[in-house]
Structure 1
Amino acid sequence: MKFMFSLLFIIGSIFLKAQHLYSKAYGNPKNPPVIFIHGGPGGNATLFEGTTAQKLADKGFYVIVYDRRGEGRSKDGNATMTFKESFEDLKSIYTTYNIKQANILAHSFGGIIGTLFTAQFPEKVKTLTLAGALFTQQETYDHILKQAKEHFKNDPVNLKEISEIESLDNNSAAYRKRCYDMAGKLGFFDMPHPTPESEKLRTEYKAGEFYKNNIRNPDSPLKFYQNELQNNLDNTSVLKDIRKKGISIFAVYGKNDGIFSEKQMADLKNIVGKKNFRLIYNCSHYLFVDQQDDFLQFIKLSLK
């Protein structure tokens, strides 16, 4: 009797925890599962879900999106924002949708989570796709600041700001935020030449319900840097180990995603293999909106 009560308590706890996690599936459950991991800390899956999830499902996949605990639509004031917690959230998605093995599609900071999850739970991952995903964080920060120094070389105000950023603790939320703020000033996240298709996608997204639910939790990065010791990672060796385990890694990036250097892209290409790597032209960080057709074609050809 005591054993049964304990078992029911554990099952109930898992159920309640899953209830706090926003998630939604698109497509036929019989198709190959794709789990999308959004960026952050503090992000959500609304842009991908509102523009791309159903279209990817239409290509023959069972697409699952979710917001991590304490982020986006998964409100939780007790969330710690640690990798361990992120792994628990991801494993609960497998349980909720009765999935044993999935294709992981990871964007931006989600690439860090997807890579570490794959390394720790290789039996749960069929393929790992890095889409505009972080993998050598300090190299990204160094590249942003180097480009900023060149761009603002005759601008004392911005040069002073860059100097202030460089004086910060590299493993701090403030350093990360101000590096990306500087990248925003440089237009690193912007598509160089917006197409009618990309403008239509963004207009429809901003006019719809998904944009209304584009909830950003400013406390998430602060909690992450407070609670997670692994906060400025170089996952080069981790990705190499994943390949040694026989898991295919794919990488698709915007050619004009200014937060990554040419060296980073060359290094990643060497890790995943030439056939598994793709740069999309006239495309920046949000590649599934900037060049959606090219993005979907790459995913379909890679995962099928």
Structure 2
Amino acid sequence: MLIVISYSAIAEEKKVITTDGVELFVKIEGKGTPCLYIHGGPGSGSYWFEKFFGDFMEEHFTMIYLDQRGVGRSGSPENKDYSIERMSLDFEEVRKSLGFEDWLTIGHSFGGILQMGYAEKFPEAQKGMMMINCTLYLNESFCESWAPKASEFLGENYIGCANDSLPMMERMNKLGSKLREKDIFWKMAYSKKENEEIMNSTWGQVENWNYDFGNAALSYEAYWQNFLDNTVKIDIPVLFFYGSSDWMVGPEHYKNVKFTNMLLWESEVGHVPFLENTNDLKKAIKTFKIKYRFES
């Protein structure tokens, strides 16, 4: 049955069953143009964005908070299909089940890669994309920012991906372990340790957190492809918001982003602007909404 939802204020939690039998957690709340939150991680879920930034978003958009397959409050596929094609199809099946003709998406971090995959497979579904601290090429983010900055924080020199004797994921895990041992991993994403602790505390607020996608995603070659090259082919409105101290993605990652209809926004923030420097993120989203006339 097709459920048609108006742009008036609504609040509803529901389960959407995909065509391959996965039960997805979906929460709809707010008013205005529908907007799907595509979380990053991979595997971070939608809960923390709703908790820390939902009130603002729901004033301006009908927000759809989705825990992706294998994440948080959603189920996992029996066939273990976490491909980018299947993830895109999930988004589309959720859209159709809710009765929206099209919608905006707002992605964070790894969510930008999922937004790009969705745009390529279903080009008419998104009327615009808000990309918040998004990477569109994991290799570049790791080699140009993540690994060099992590090494700097550890007092080491990084010889670069081209000369590294270890595979990229192994190097990432090695550096990450050292950062955590020294209790300085927070420097990669936050301005102060307390904010990392605030964010991490949200994990325990959802029982039986599903992390299957987080464990599987980076084994898929498709997620490592260079989506930067495809940005020039997309002409829908895009807000590309990036942090000048976001070492997870890289403060210069934006230089290779070539959307033809883009509002580019630099912010003095790390990787999590919906917890730090929220006022600037709000200003950017309001400006994007007004500029492209997305209705309330």
User: How far did 1:266 drift?
Assistant: 2.6
Residue of structure 2 equivalent to 1:242: 234
Distance in 1 between residues matched to 2:166 and 2:207, nearest whole Å: 30
Stretch deviating more after TM superposition (257-266 or 49-58): 257-266
Task: Identify if the C-alpha distance between structure 1 residues 27 and 193 changes in structure 2 by more than 3 Å, giving closer, same or farther.
Answer: same
Task: Identify if the C-alpha distance between structure 1 residues 237 and 35 changes in structure 2 by more than 3 Å, giving closer, same or farther.
Answer: same
Q: Deviations over 1:144-170 (max 9, x none)?
A: 2223444445x5xx979x99x943334
Higher helix share: 1
Residue of structure 1 equivalent to 2:30: 27
User: How far did 1:38 drift?
Assistant: 0.3
Answer yes or no: is the 8 Å Cα contact 1:25–1:65 preserved in 2. Answer: yes
Q: CA RMSD in A?
A: 3.4
Matches within 5 A, 1:246-265: 247-265=236-254
Task: For residue 37 of structure 2, give the secondary structure of its aligned residue in structure 1.
Answer: strand
Alignment coverage as a number of residue pairs: 268
Q: Letter of the aligned partner of 2:230 in structure 1?
A: V
Matches within 5 A, 1:1-304: 14=18, 17=21, 20-28=23-31, 31-58=32-59, 60-76=60-76, 78=78, 79-143=80-144, 144-153=146-155, 166-170=164-168, 174=170, 177-178=173-174, 185=185, 187-191=187-191, 211-213=204-206, 217-226=210-219, 228-243=220-235, 247-268=236-257, 271-272=258-259, 276-281=263-268, 283-304=269-290
User: How far did 1:192 drift?
Assistant: 5.2
Distance in 1 between residues matched to 2:193 and 2:214, nearest whole Å: 31
Consecutive unaligned residues in structure 2, runs of 5 or more: 1-15, 291-296
Consecutive unaligned residues in structure 1, runs of 5 or more: 1-11
Distance in 2 between residues matched to 1:299 and 1:260, nearest whole Å: 20
Answer yes or no: is the 8 Å Cα contact 1:45–1:66 preserved in 2. Answer: yes
Look at both structures and tell me which one has the larger radius of gyration over its CA atoms. Answer: 1
User: How far did 1:237 drift?
Assistant: 1.8
Task: Identify if the C-alpha distance between structure 1 residues 24 and 85 changes in structure 2 by more than 3 Å, giving closer, same or farther.
Answer: same
Answer yes or no: is the 8 Å Cα contact 2:88–2:121 preserved in 1. Answer: no
Q: Letter of the aligned partner of 1:232 in structure 2?
A: W
Q: Deviations over 1:100-133 (max 9, x none)?
A: 1111111111110001111221111101111111
Higher strand share: 2
Q: Deviations over 1:241-269 (max 9, x none)?
A: 113xxx1121012221113444423333x
Distance in 2 between residues matched to 1:179 and 1:191, nearest whole Å: 19
Q: What TM-score do the two structures reach when normalised by structure 2?
A: 0.77
